Amino acid sequence: MKTRLDRLSELASDATSLASQGSSKVREAAAKASTTVQAAGKSVHKMATDAIDHRDTKAAVLKAKDLATAATVEARKIADRVVFTAKKADENHKDVADKIETVSMGLGITSGVVLAGAALAAPTGLGALGVAIGITSAPLVVAVAPVIAAVATVTGVVSGGAYFYSKWKSRKSKGVSKNE
């Protein structure tokens, strides 16, 4: 059962990453997740049925069945919500790309300011030796700068992907309009 739950986690992660690739792939991932959840529910149900013969475990088994049923229902709701959100984002691809671009630019500027501050605040001389040995700590801006730079980089990559997806989607819809 644990491997099925691990597989469900993988499929949920796949569904999230596929959201930018179009709603059809998200629907497929959601369907796979739903199938895996149903299979996990059936496994729990079978295990519960096999264990019902024991008087002491009957109440626990019934509770496990209820939990498995509830998990299946909630997983279906989540899959449906992911598909709905992906469709909505796909329909409004230009707005989504613009918003991601704005966030990316803001993080890029913030990253530049933080990196400049880190360069100015970085300890030198005996202060750097103290940080290296572990006697003192580096200033917070120096410690946080690489994290902010990484977040800005990832956001920039996502923004670029959203931009090109929106451009492709716009050209595709224009091509369909011309062919009709």
Is 71 in contact with 35 (CB distance < 8 Å)?
A: no
Cβ neighbours, 10 Å, residue 138 = 18
Structure tokens at 120: 């100015």
Structure tokens at 140: 């917070």
SS3 state of residue 177:
helix
What is the predicted pLDDT for the residue at 87? 78
Residue 122 zone, left/alpha/beta (φ > 0; ψ -120 to 50; rest): beta
What is the predicted pLDDT for the residue at 63? 74
What is the predicted pLDDT for the residue at 75? 81
Mean pLDDT, the chain cut into blocks of 10 residues (180 residues total): 61 57 62 72 69 60 75 82 79 83 90 89 84 85 89 90 87 67
Helix (H) or strand (E) holding 151: helix 140-179
What is the predicted pLDDT for the residue at 157? 92
